[in-house]
Amino acid sequence: MAINYWLGGASGNEGDFETVANWSTGAFPVDGDTIIFSDKAGTASGSVAYHTNGNHWNLIGDLDRHVDDDTDFVKIIITPEFTGNIGLGYDTPADETSALLCSAGEINCQGQGTYYLTCKENSGPKDFDLVILDTTNGTLNIGKSDVDGGACTEAINVKGTLVFLDAIASNLAPPEVPKVTNIESGATTTIHKDNSGGTPDLFCRGGTMYCDSVFTLAEVSGGTFVAGRAGFVPAASVTLAEIKQYGGIVQWRVESTLQLLTIYSGTCTAYGAEAKTLGNSNVINIHGGTLDLGSEQIASVTLGATNVTVADGATFITPTTAITAWTP
The whole-model pTM stands at 0.91
Instruction: Report whether 13 contacts 19 (CB < 8 A).
Output: yes
- Type of residue numbered 31: D
H-type helices in 186-319, by residue range? none
pLDDT for the residue numbered 132: 98
CA distance 275 to 140: 33
Confidence of residue 240 (pLDDT cuts 50, 70, 90): confident
Domain map of the chain by residue range? 57-324
287-324 confidence digits (pLDDT tens): 999 999 888 888 888 876 556 788 888 998 877 655 45
The CB density around residue 302, as the number of other CB atoms within 10 Å, is 17
Q: Which of 132, 83, 75, 142 is nearest to 105 (CA)?
A: 75
39-56 confidence digits (pLDDT tens): 999 999 887 877 888 999
CA distance 196 to 213: 10
Distant-in-sequence, close-in-space partners of 94: CB < 8 Å, separation ≥ 6 = none
Higher pLDDT, 70 or 276: 276
The CB density around residue 273, as the number of other CB atoms within 10 Å, is 9
- Type of residue numbered 241: A
